[in-house]
Each structure stands twice: as C-alpha cells, then as structure tokens.
Amino acid sequence: MLGETMSSSELNPISIHRRALLQNSAYGFGGMALGQLLASSLGDSNASASSPDALGAGTPVPGSMGMLHHAAKAKRVIFLFQSGAPSQLDLFDYKPLLNEKHGTELPDEIRGGQRLTGMSGNQSSLPLVGSPFEFKQHGECGTWMSDQLPYTSKIADDICVVRSMYTEAINHGPAVTFMQTGSMFPGRPSMGAWVDYGLGSENENLPAFVVMTTKNQNSGQPLVSRFWGNGFLPSEHQGVQFRSGADPVLYLSNPQGIDTQSRRSAMDALSKLHQMQLASNADPLVEARIAQYEMAFAMQSSIPEATDFADESEEVFELYGEDSKNPGSFAANCLMARRLAQRGVRFIQLYHKGWDHHGGLPKGLPNQCKATDQASAALVQDLKRLGMLEDTLVIWGGEFGRTNYCQGKLTETSFGRDHHPRCFSLWMAGGGVKPGIVHGATDDFGYNLTEAPVHIHDLHATIMHLLGVDHERLTFRYQGRQFRLTDVHGEVVHDILA
C-alpha cells in the first residue's frame, strides 16, 4: 500500500527510484525486516521455495534478479587466475612442428601482417622456438599436456581444456582488466561484482565475492583493486580481499577494550542514524553503507571460523601439498577457496603472478608450475570428493597467450615468449562443463585459431549461463544506457556444456 505523501512526480515510473518507493511505502522497511525475521525463524520449513538446491528456472535468489533466468548448473565459481599469461605452447597446446622448425623464421603467411608488441616488433628476426618440455596424452580422454603439469594431468578426465581462447588486448593491464570486467577500460564492474549484484549471497555472514592473492610475489605485473572492483555498481558488490596472517580482513577486529556487545550497541545506534538519513534522502549510498557495516559485524564471527584450518585432516594437507599449511601461499588459498565455497561464498577469485616469461622461460615456467599445479588439481579432486564439483565451476587460466617465436636472443639453454592475444588455453571443471574434452584448435604453428574460437565475451556469457543468468538480461543503467558484463557481445559456448 502506497503512502499518501507520494507526489504524482514520484509515481512516475521513469523518475521513481527504488529507494524512494520503499521510503514512501507504508510498512516498507518494517515489512522487509519482518519478512527477514520470519524467514530466519522458519529455518528449513521454506526450503521448497528458496532452497539453494532448487536450481530450476524461476528459483528465487537474493540478488537484483529476484529469480534465476533459467536452470543453473553451477551455484558458485572459483577462478584460479594466472596473472602474466602462462605459455599455452609449453603446457596445453602441443606443437611438434615447432620443435622441427626450431630456430627458423616465422613464415610471413602464418603471421599474416598481424601486429606485435613493441618488445619484439622491432626484432630483425622472429625465430620459432619449440617447447623444451615433454608432452604426453593423459586420461581416458587422451588430452595432451606438458610434463610440467604432473598433477593436472591426473585430472585430465575431469577438466575441459579450451585451446581456442582469444582477445584483442595485447598488453597486460588492458588484458587483465578485459578478462576480469569485460572491458579493456578501467571503471567497469568485475565479473564477481556482477554475479554478486545479480544473484546475491548464500551466506548472510560472509561476502558473496572474495579475492585472494598469493603472498610475497614481488615480481610480475601489479594486481590492482579495479580487477575486483564494483565499478558503477553499488559498492557492497566489490570483492572483499582476504590476506594472510592474523587479520584476513583489515580493520575487522574490535579495538582493544571493545567487546562484541559494545560493538553491537554502537552498530545499532549508527544504523538508526543511517535510517534517519535514508528517510530524508533516498540515497543508495546510504543503504550500501548500512549493508557494509552489518556485513563487517557479521564477519567478526564468521571469518575466524572460516579461516581456521585446525579442523582439516593431514590427508587434506597432503592432497594440496606441503605449502597449504603456509597462509597466503597459492596452495593455502586453494584450500581456503574450498572452505569458502562450502560456506556459501558465490564467487572466489585467486590471483597468482609470475607467468610473464619474456626471458628465462625454461627455468621460470617450471617454478610457477611447481607452485600452482598440485593445489589446482587438488581443489578439483577435493570438491569432487565432497560432492561439490558438480555445482562448482573451477576455471584456470591467464589473460592471453605467448608467442611461438622467441623474444630477444634464442640460445641453446634459454629463450622467452612475447604476448600473444590471438590464441591461448585455459581449463574449466565442474559446474555443468563437459569433463574430459578439448574445445577448439590452433594451426600447426600455434599462431592462429583454426576451430571453434572462444572470445572473452563468450567465456563470460558461458559462465553466466552456467549460473542461471542470461547475460543479456542482467544489466545496470549508468550514464544514460544499460550496461552488462558482455557489453553488446558474447555467445554461450554450448559445445562445452554437459
């Protein structure tokens, strides 16, 4: 029932703001609060209406969508982002021809006049370079992988390797921004923020979007907060960064001398002030501030429990590797990702730097594989063991690929590869993706796509589709037009869907 104080201009469906409607609705906030209290007190009695297991079209979700656009295969996403761009030619895309033609010139007809970076574009010679690593087929599916991935090769039958990814971005900053936000230009919401905005959270005591970076990585391209930012979406949808150490989330702990009851009293008083401000000015920023204060208070109890590995068995630590006991390592972050997924966190993003091998690849790439291979495979195995892989989408990959020719001087013991946006590889597992397949192909030189190209917009559309979201319908109006993660592009890659 609408209050009598609402003017005719406020009733205009074009000019009315959602907050203004709630502000002028009789029992608006009281009704919302009562509904929340009733839902909490009813517990599992309403499971048939809002159970997270009911993933069919029309399933209610707490985000802006209100309900799923279509049946979902995945409830959550874990993105193991390998910043710097791993060399697909030394990991997933086996090209014996490059070994045969090692040291010879990249043919002009293969390059096709395509642009190069400024780092190798001025070289007088572009010598082809084969991989120094041994490739074998693995699993019943027979997927080719390098000997630098001994653990990932053991889960070959559980993953889908996409060999035909491509992007327009040729430098790291725009390329990582593109992969994370769907645009090469800073300022757009990240993928996790879009998911949080559309679907909301499955856990009131934890953020829906969590970010972790591998600690003590002093080299590599910088990881900046815009990669997991909210852009023009409300600020509560930005990723919450977890750090290693005693305080995973900064400024979450109470100051010395302040107990939980005192903090709760202060929160209640602050909430009343915010509600008074909201009643006089329907500002969505005020509502975002209220939500963030309440989430911070809830996390004071939930974060210590979620980040305490004391209840994990020695078998689990052995699965993820010795480094999993070292907080902030990639292995520990993978184990943390599983724990957060168990607790209803919807989008979990791990960042690991150091894959930018312009030189010294024969030594540098094995070091990166040693730090990431076991834990990445363990995450898939652990989720499968717990019965969570079928509704958890795991993604592993970087922002673009590497060249088939050597950047700089090619020697008998060392070489480097430059940036290559025209084709690269990543893998996906669980969450409704076909296991044990390879999608797409490149030419014998590993330079151009020859089969089933997958653009970054297509990847984003597919991820959203698996979550029950129509990427064309999840939009946000900003600066006079509707925006979405995929902009005006993107096609779901149906061939990789189970």
DSSP 75-120: SEEEEEEETT---GGGTT---HHHHHTTTSBPPHHHHTT----TTT
Task: Give the SS3 label for residue 73.
Answer: coil
Q: What is the pLDDT of residue 23?
A: 43
The letter for the amino acid at 451 is E
pLDDT score for 42:
34
Q: Which of 460, 387, 397, 459 is nearest to 424 (CA)?
A: 397
Q: Give the pLDDT of the chain (498 residues) as one tens digit per residue.
A: 333 334 333 334 434 444 444 444 433 444 444 344 334 333 333 333 333 445 898 899 999 999 999 999 999 999 999 999 999 999 999 999 999 999 999 999 999 999 999 999 999 999 999 999 999 999 999 999 999 999 999 999 999 999 999 999 999 999 999 999 999 999 999 999 999 999 999 988 999 999 999 999 988 899 999 999 999 999 999 999 998 876 777 656 666 666 767 666 766 777 677 677 777 776 666 666 666 666 665 667 678 888 899 999 999 999 999 999 999 999 999 999 999 999 999 999 999 999 999 999 999 999 999 999 999 999 999 999 999 999 999 999 999 999 999 999 999 999 999 999 999 999 999 999 999 999 999 999 999 999 999 999 999 999 999 999 999 999 999 999 999 999 999 999 999 999
Strand 392-397 with 424-429, pairing = antiparallel
DSSP 372-400: HHHHHHHHHHHHHHTT-GGGEEEEEE-SS
Please report, for the domain that includes residue 208, its CATH number: 3.40.720
**SS3 (DSSP) at 361:** helix
Residues of the domain holding 409:
76-248+315-496
- Please report the sign of the dihedral spanned by the C-alpha atoms of residue 481, residue 485, residue 489, residue 493: negative
Residue 436 lies in a domain: yes
Kindly state the tokens that stand for 358: 């312009």
Mean pLDDT (the chain, rounded): 87
Measured CA to CA in angstroms, residue 201 lies from 5, 124, 297, 300 at distances of 34, 54, 16, 17
Residue in 459, 214, 239, 207 with CA at minimum distance from that of residue 334: 214
Q: Burial level of 390, CB count in 10 A (0-12/13-18/19+)?
A: middle
Planar angle of CA 386, 380, 454, nearest 5 degrees = 135
**Structural domain includes residue 234:** yes
Residue 361 resides in a domain = yes
Task: List, in sequence order, every residue forming a beta bridge with 82; answer none if it has no partner.
Answer: 352
Torsion 408-412-414-418 (CA) sign = positive
Give yes or no for a contact between 395 and 449, defined as CB atoms under 8 angstroms apart.
Answer: no
- What's the pTM value of the predicted model, to 2 decimals? 0.84
Res 291: pLDDT: 64
Q: Is residue 5 part of a domain?
A: no
User: Which residues on neighbouring strands pair with residue 441, listed in sequence order?
Assistant: 451
Work out how many domains the chain is built from and give that number.
1
**Residue 111 located in a structural domain:** yes
Residue-wise pLDDT tens digits, 291-346: 666 666 566 767 888 889 999 999 999 999 999 999 999 999 999 999 999 999 99
Positive or negative, the Cα torsion across 396, 398, 404, 405?
A: negative
What are phi and psi for residue 53, nearest 5 degrees?
-80, -20
* Alpha carbon distance 466, 34 (integer Å): 33
Closest by CA to 113, choosing from 375, 422, 325, is 422
Q: Which residues pair with 60 in a beta bridge?
A: 67
Closest listed residue to residue 55, CA positions, set 71, 66, 44: 71
Residue 429 resides in a domain: yes
Q: pLDDT tens digits, residue range 447-475?
A: 999 999 999 999 999 999 999 999 999 99
| DSSP helix, strand, coil percent of the chain (3-state; round to 5) | 40, 15, 45
Q: Quote the CA–CA distance of 200 and 346 in Å, as a whole number.
A: 8
Assigned domain for 51 exists? no
Residue 270 belongs to some domain of the structure:
no
